[in-house]
């Protein structure tokens, strides 16, 4: 699976200064790589709070405000848990990211503000495998109008376009003009969703022809025997192979989409707070081929005998895996079906040739199949599925309102980080209210979280640096094979690291991950090391110098670094770009 970058250059949320090693001066202390005698830091219990965003409405769909923590009951895997943190968020859209002018210095305690929240972020995700150009046009027009209203900050919008690859059209930090250019590229792309619908239409025609042929064959048999053999036996055997072919083709497209959505959720793990992903598509089936089976059973109801022959594979497990992964990364999915209130799948000209129970049941079966997977994505992650709309401006405004205001609950999981899967149920005590929230999550190891956040820094430039990490570069040398060896110095202020007593010394253990991605080839090189560092006597002013030798190819490379203090589990992520080799220009 590849991720390509098109359009404007990536925008880093926090620029990272790449300096020469000499800039660290006398404050640099050498770090020792781990060895067999290193102390154990594994006793640290790594338990993450479980955050749950909850939207509450009455029976008319109106939001309910003013509730307190005692109004909510939260259960994990059926057992009640204690709400440790509660907040009624009032405007996450207007919240400022850390690092904007007026914020406190890094490391300082932020001022407590009632209703304050981490800023909301919006991801527009266009599934070109299931999105036709005609239905996409209206959605893009409405998205442009929505962005023109400036109800949501342009710099907090990320745009993905997905076909067989996942393409980042606009990064967080983009300008309004950048977003316009990205939408124009998507509007101009041919897409592949029309091909998917046409393939299904051809499958229906083939099934109908098989049925007509089976009836002719049965009729010819009747003239010889004076009794009409049923056409269903011949038809069903041949039709099942057609359904199998169509189901396998659909399954490949759907699996590709689920894989790319999982990748997007993985990248977004590095972004704090709630992320709303607007999935834009005409369709996403959970059981490809089931609607074609309905076509067959409409002609030849065969009960259990037919069901035992069905070749259709349900993809519920794959959908479940994706939604639990998205939930763990606080990604809420809204599904927007762009095809809206279009006519039925069978055209008026085609309907007379379909002689089973009428065309309407089959049109309904197609519509239900197309929406099934889209509904699952939304329901399981706490979002909404938007169907039966030909214009989307009102829905987009409502989505922003829901991004801005909600109840934020957090609790300490009773299982203590078991890396398993867990269900969440939230209700409001004593009142008949509608409650929407993510329905479960998969607990992740700290190593997996570190790896996901590193990918966010590498691919999207998402930077979070509470440890105050700086990067330094030594002298680049030729490494052979068109590569350059870069001594990369990862410098961490000793004052921000926890040193634990080990025998007669104080030691820190620091995990460092480095990943680089070549701009032209998208090839990724990864490395990681664990360093043991003895506490320096002047730790308040020292920088710990953790050195990697990274081999990167000639040309422009994106480099991301993840750092974790193994004692406290505090993590930091920084990224920068490097141009190395002849004609590459200066490092930057």
pLDDT class for 205, splitting at 50, 70, 90?
confident
Percent of the chain with pLDDT over 70: 79
φ, ψ dihedrals at 462, nearest 5°: -80, 115
pLDDT class for 30, splitting at 50, 70, 90?
very low
Q: Which fold has domain 3-45+446-580?
A: Immunoglobulin-like (2.60.40)
Instruction: State how far the Cα of 457 lies from the Cα of 16, in Å rounded to an integer.
Output: 11
**What's the pLDDT at 125?**
98
CB 369 within 8 A of CB 291: yes
**What's the pLDDT at 357?**
45
Q: What is the mean pLDDT of residues 115-142?
A: 87
Lowest mean pLDDT among 102-106, 135-139, 345-349, 557-561: 102-106
Percent of the chain with pLDDT over 90: 48
Q: Is the pLDDT of residue 227 over 60?
A: no
Q: Is the pLDDT of residue 571 over 80?
A: yes
pLDDT (tens digit per residue) in 424-470: 999 999 888 999 999 999 888 888 889 999 999 999 988 889 999 99
Torsional class of 61: left (φ above 0), alpha (ψ -120 to 50), beta (otherwise)? left
Q: What is the mean pLDDT of residues 317-335?
A: 94
The one-character DSSP state at 252 is H
Nearest 5°: CA angle at 385, between 380 and 389? 175
Structure-token pair, residue 282 = 């005409």
**What's the pLDDT at 46?**
55
Query: 133-148 and 393-404 are packed helices; what angle lies between their axes, rounded to 10 degrees?
Result: 50
Break the chain into its structural domains and give their ranges: 3-45+446-580, 50-90+405-442, 189-401
**What's the pLDDT at 350?**
53
Torsional class of 581: left (φ above 0), alpha (ψ -120 to 50), beta (otherwise)? left
pLDDT (tens digit per residue) in 10-25: 333 333 444 444 444 4
DSSP letters spanning 59-95: TTS-B-----GGGEEEEETTEEE---EEEEES-TTTP
CB 567 within 8 A of CB 498: yes
Q: Is the pLDDT of residue 4 over 50?
A: no
376 vs 346, higher pLDDT: 376
Lowest mean pLDDT among 23-37, 51-65, 531-545: 23-37
The distance in angstroms from the start CA to the end CA of the chain is 28
Lowest mean pLDDT among 93-107, 174-188, 230-244, 278-292: 93-107
Q: Is the pLDDT of residue 182 over 90?
A: yes
Instruction: State how far the Cα of 204 lies from the Cα of 239, in Å rounded to an integer.
Output: 10
pLDDT class for 213, splitting at 50, 70, 90?
confident
CA–chain centroid gap for 426, Å, is 23
Instruction: State how far the Cα of 344 lies from the Cα of 354, in Å rounded to an integer.
Output: 14
Q: Is the pLDDT of residue 190 over 60?
A: yes
Helix count and strand count (H, E) for the chain: 10, 27
Q: Is the pLDDT of residue 306 over 60?
A: no
Q: Is the pLDDT of residue 65 over 50?
A: yes
Three-state secondary-structure class, residue 16: coil
Lowest mean pLDDT among 191-195, 223-227, 466-470: 223-227
Mean of all residue pLDDT scores within the chain: 82
Q: Is the pLDDT of residue 169 over 90?
A: yes
Q: Is the pLDDT of residue 112 over 60?
A: no
Handedness of CA 228, 230, 231, 234 (dihedral sign): negative
φ, ψ dihedrals at 228, nearest 5°: -90, 115
CB 44 within 8 A of CB 567: yes
CB 76 within 8 A of CB 51: no
**What's the pLDDT at 434?**
94
* Cβ count within 10 A of residue 54: 21
The predicted model scores a pTM of: 0.84
């Amino acid at each position: 699976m590849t991720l390509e970058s098109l359009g404007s250059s990536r925008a880093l949320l926090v620029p990272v200064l790449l300096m020469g090693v000499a800039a660290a001066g006398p404050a640099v202390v050498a770090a020792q790589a781990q060895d067999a005698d290193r102390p154990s830091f594994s006793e640290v219990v790594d338990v993450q709070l479980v955050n749950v965003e909850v939207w509450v409405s009455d029976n008319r769909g109106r939001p309910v405000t003013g509730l307190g923590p005692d109004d909510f009951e939260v259960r994990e895997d059926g057992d009640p848990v204690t709400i440790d943190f509660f907040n009624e968020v009032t405007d996450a859209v207007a919240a400022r990211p850390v690092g904007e002018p007026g914020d406190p210095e890094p490391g300082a305690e932020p001022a407590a503000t009632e209703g304050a929240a981490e800023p909301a972020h919006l991801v527009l995700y266009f599934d070109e495998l299931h999105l036709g150009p005609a239905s996409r046009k209206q959605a893009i027009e409405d998205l442009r109008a929505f962005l023109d209203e400036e109800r949501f900050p342009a710099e907090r919008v990320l745009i993905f376009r997905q076909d067989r690859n996942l393409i980042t059209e606009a990064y967080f930090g983009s300008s309004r003009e950048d977003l316009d250019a990205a939408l124009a590229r998507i509007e101009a792309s041919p897409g592949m969703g029309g091909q998917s619908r046409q393939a299904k239409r051809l499958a229906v025609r083939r099934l109908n022809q098989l049925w007509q042929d089976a009836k002719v064959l049965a009729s010819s048999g009747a003239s010889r025997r004076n009794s009409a053999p049923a056409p269903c036996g011949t038809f069903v055997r041949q039709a099942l192979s057609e359904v199998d072919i169509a189901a396998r083709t659909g399954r490949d497209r759907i699996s590709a989409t689920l894989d790319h959505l999982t990748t997007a959720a993985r990248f977004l793990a590095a972004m704090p707070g709630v992320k709303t992903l607007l999935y834009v598509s005409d369709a996403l089936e959970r059981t490809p081929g089931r609607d074609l089976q309905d076509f067959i059973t409409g002609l030849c109801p065969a009960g259990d005998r037919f069901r035992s022959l069905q070749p259709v594979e349900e993809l519920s497990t794959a959908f479940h895996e994706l939604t639990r992964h998205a939930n763990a990364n606080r990604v809420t999915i809204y599904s927007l079906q762009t095809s809206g209130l279009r006519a039925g799948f069978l055209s008026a000209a085609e309907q007379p040739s379909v002689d089973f129970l009428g065309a309407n049941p089959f049109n309904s079966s197609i519509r239900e199949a197309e929406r099934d997977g889209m509904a699952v994505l939304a329901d399981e992650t706490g979002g909404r599925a938007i169907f039966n709309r030909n214009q989307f401006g009102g829905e987009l405004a409502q989505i922003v309102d829901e991004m801005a205001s909600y109840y934020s609950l957090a609790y300490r999981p009773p299982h203590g980080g078991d890396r398993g899967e867990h269900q969440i149920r939230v209700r409001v005590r004593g009142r008949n209210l509608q409650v929407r929230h993510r329905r479960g999550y998969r607990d992740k190891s700290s190593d997996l979280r570190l790896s996901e956040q590193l990918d966010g820094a590498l691919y999207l430039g998402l930077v979070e640096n509470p440890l105050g990490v700086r990067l330094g570069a030594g002298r680049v040398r030729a490494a052979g094979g068109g590569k350059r060896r870069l001594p990369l110095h990862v410098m961490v202020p000793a004052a921000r690291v926890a040193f634990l007593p080990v025998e007669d010394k104080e030691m820190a253990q620091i995990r460092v991950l480095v990943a680089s991605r070549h701009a032209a080839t998208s090839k990724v090189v990864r490395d990681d090391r664990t360093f043991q560092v003895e506490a320096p006597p002047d730790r308040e002013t020292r920088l710990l110098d953790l050195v990697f030798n990274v081999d990167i190819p000639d040309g422009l490379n994106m480099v991301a670094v993840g750092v974790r203090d193994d004692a406290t589990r505090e993590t930091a992520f920084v990224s920068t770009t490097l141009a190395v080799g002849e004609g590459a220009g200066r490092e930057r």
